[in-house]
Amino acid sequence: MYEYQSAGNGGGGDRTPILKFSAKDGSFVCADRVNIDGAWQTQEREIDAPFKAVFDMAEVEMGWIAFNPAPDFVMVKSGEQRPEKPTDDHKWGFRIRLANKDIGVRELSSSSKNVYTRMISLFQAYEAGKASNPGKVPVVEVTGTERVVQTLSDGKTQTWRVPAWTLSGWTDRPDMLDSVTETTPDVPAPTAPATPAGSVQDDDIFK
């Protein structure tokens, strides 16, 4: 018998399942906690680009993130006062919920400076377009990753991967974004509501 819960919980809970992004190899990985014969295990599956998902930009959080080894978030929403850094282990980053019919609702977070910079660019595109799309959420198209080379103070270089993503359209806010119910691989995601004539639409992620 299989039971599902979000990665990072020790027992049953209502945390959103995780989508992890690796700045080292550029992989996107869904992580789920699966109960097999009474024992909880983490199952991971990589998803390939390109893919589209709605990003809940209105609720994006920014703040301090640490893994010791459990995740510790000290976050605020855009426009709120920046929180004090809790420990030297915490790094500045973001946390956001996203969804499509294939992966359900997921939580994506990162404390990579390069990934954070890409999220800021995405948020700026959302800010520029939200007034023209009231009541809608942005659809983000992830086409792959890009290579970033950083030069350190000692002259050495480091190579990272960052998401190659753009705000490709807008769609009606799906009910699934406002639900805390665990979304599992066996449960289909809800269908987005019908679109009023003349609205900007990009909802093929739910078809």
Tens of pLDDT along 146-200? 999 988 888 888 999 999 999 999 999 999 998 754 444 443 333 333 333 334 4
Residue 34 is predicted with a pLDDT of 86
Give 158's DSSP letter: E
The yes-or-no verdict on residue 107 having pLDDT over 50 is yes
Which uninterrupted H or E stretch holds 113? helix 113-129
pLDDT class for 2, splitting at 50, 70, 90? Answer: very low
Task: Name 18's bridge partners.
Answer: 31, 107
Output Rg (C-alpha) for the chain, integer angstroms: 18
Cα–Cα–Cα angle for 93, 109, 161, rounded to 5 degrees:
85
